[in-house]
Amino acid sequence: MESTARRLARAVEALLGTSYSRAKREVLVGHVLVNGAVVTDPGALVGPADEVAHAPALPRRERAPKTPPIELLFADDALVVVNKPAGLLVHPTIEGEQDTVLARAAAELQRRSGRHRRLLVVHRLDRDTSGVMVLAVTHAAAEHLHRQFRFHTVERFYLALARGDLVREELVERSIGRPRPGARRAALAPGTGGRAARTVLRPLERLGLATLVEAELGTGRTHQVRVHLAFLGHPVLGDPVYGDPDTDPFSIGRLALHAAVLGLVHPQTGERLHFRQPPPADFSALLTQLRRRHRAAPHAPAPAPAPRGRSAGATAKSRPRPRRPRPRAADGAPTPAGKRRSPRPARPRRRP
């Protein structure tokens, strides 16, 4: 073999002295061993120290469906940061479920490096939530990241399209738990159970029927943003648990929630990492639709400003018009109505 790494299919091509297409097919059906283990990725990198062998007697393997790609925002030997698409589970919940964030991220890493890496879950996003999330490559990195999440030092901001008009910034400090066994999660009053939860909710755009909200997480409880917005009476559009998608003014067929910002400390270098990702196309399209409708909707005219020194309820029309003083005669008596005093004769100009 050559002194530099090359693709497995090329190595098999040289080994068998055959065409590239046949060498690639032998890899795909499981007839090629690398260091004694079957490898079915023709693009995997092999180096001079790797032992490549052809074993045509092995049973043919059915070609597994190609794993869809996922966008990697950052990747090294400690952690991987991905842009999770909506509609994708983070990890399998039932046996045989293969298309997950874990599977896509591992496949993307293998395509890049030629090595299969087992990734570890550090935190989760709901299936219908899009945005930035981090995975650990090693157990040491996973423990370091877990501590950051546990002590709430991770910076996290979400964008949500919430139902109704959220007028002002709200700080919600309500525990999250189940009020009774089997009930859905709810925002509970302090001291009544659940786990402490803190969210700052800021209206970025008030669009009449809905509001673009920025949610800053002080804690990381399950469904925290969804529960706290529903507590305020402004559930996330498309939320089938805490809202009512059937009566929402607009919908994208899923939860209108996006993890926009993630900031954390690198477990190995101590460097502060910051990631920001814009919302996906369906979220942005819904936001554009809401903006257009809001601009087209008739708005009540703003009330006229009240005159200075008067109450807000008074208007310019209620102010009395000043009356001219009636002219008086030389003796001080009022001049009869309709009669005016004759004007005084003009003084002659003094000539020089």
- Tokens linked to 264: 């954390």
Residues linked to residue 201 through DSSP beta bridges, in sequence order: 170, 215
Active site residues: 126
34 CB contacts (<8 Å, ≥6 apart)? 8, 44, 46, 50, 51, 52, 53
On whether the CB atoms of residues 169 and 201 are closer than 8 A, the answer is yes
C-alpha separations of 153 from 37, 144, 147 in Å: 42, 12, 9
Distance CA 239, CA 220 (A): 19
Angle at 98 between CA 93 and CA 101, to 5 degrees: 80
Distance CA 193, CA 50 (A): 57
Query: Which of 107, 13, 14, 7 lies closest to 47, judged by CA?
Result: 7
